[in-house]
Amino acid sequence: MKLGLSQASYRWVAYPWLRTDSATYRYSTGRLPYFSSVEPPQTADGLAAWMIDRTRVHGLTSLYLDPGWFRDEAGAADLGAVMREAGIEYFGLADPDLVADADAWGATDTAARNSAGDDVCFQLTETAHRWQGGSDFQRCVRAMELAVAAGATIVNVVHREAGLKHRFIEDPPLSQQLDAMIRNLSSLIPIAEELGVVLTTESHMDYRVADFVQVMDAIDSPWLRHNFDFANSISVVEDPLDAARLAAPYTVMTHIKDMRVQPYTLIGEPRFFNAPIGDGDVPVLDILEVLQQGAPDPDNLQHCVEVLAPPEHDAEAWIVASLNWLREHAAPYFA
């Protein structure tokens, strides 16, 4: 097993629309607040190189990063070469509406794949970054192409509409959502095979691992596997250790994190809090053992540290504390 980095660990420091040093969430020349111990990337175009540098500084061997930050194939190839030189394995991502209806998802034949052209691009807005133009299918393909240009062998396909479409809504019912997910992911499998890249599903506070296992079994392709998130299943009322046992045979990468659970509060509602790894309630060591025993290739399994420090905390301190805990308490898994 190996340790990597997820871009989300630095979300409040590096994401332009979440930057805490600007009231308008845009890049500015102002200082970050006192609680940040790292200087942020100076421009959006420098974010990818900045993330690579943070990966190198922490002695990590993989990086999970949106390929849109590369902008084009030339940028992807250049930064991919930098990562290879540093011994960093690159993992890409795409974020479509996985349960979009057939019309919104878009046609899936070869002509449709090639029709987007320059209309599909990565754009930065005041509130987020987004692939613009084309259909969800075409934007997914474009993300896959850029990821592969940077050397990715895995692209994580994350459901974009987790706040609006998830397993707990009633319209459409869950069975129809999963049918749509099966149809949409199936359309990407021929492209993945052509590009030589494995796609992964992820429980992203939207669906249970058990739901994604159902989807993967229905598609039944070696080009579709799973990115196991250590804590996200808690938010959809699924025990993370049970989820790990289900996910293990399909797991080719992970997002390793921790979360503190407060089952009862004074207002009668449970609360979940992100935490440095080792400070929460996720059975991290037990999950590592499950994956060591059950994952297809545990020796090369990359665990991308994804600790989501709130904006009033120092992201770097959380990352350092998490890595120190893992290197002390989980050392046998990362020898």
Contacts of 182 by beta carbon, 8 Å cutoff, 6+ apart:
215, 218, 219
Contact 272, 259 (CB under 8 A): yes
pLDDT classification of 107: cutoffs 50, 70, 90: low
Nearest to 157 by CA among 142, 174, 140: 140
The sign of the torsion formed by the CA atoms of 69, 75, 80, 85 equals negative
* Tokens coding 280: 């929460």
Rounded CA separation 10/306 (Å)? 9
Query: The whole model's pTM is what?
Result: 0.93
Nearest to 213 by CA among 239, 171, 248: 248
What pLDDT is stored for residue 266 in this prediction?
80
Rounded CA separation 265/173 (Å)? 31
Q: Which domains does the chain have, with CATH numbers?
A: 2-334 (3.20.20.150)
SS3 label, residue 4: strand
H/E segment holding residue 79: helix 73-85
67-94 per-position pLDDT tens digit: 999 989 999 999 999 999 999 999 999 9
191-213 per-position pLDDT tens digit: 999 999 999 999 999 999 999 99
List the helix and strand counts (H, then E) for the chain.
11, 12
Contact 21, 78 (CB under 8 A): no
Comparing 101-115, 135-149, 268-282, the range with the smallest average pLDDT is: 101-115
Rounded CA separation 285/333 (Å)? 9
Q: What is the CA radius of gyration of the chain?
A: 19
Please compute the mean of the pLDDT values over residues 205-228 and round it to a whole number. Answer: 98
Nearest to 65 by CA among 147, 141, 136, 142: 147
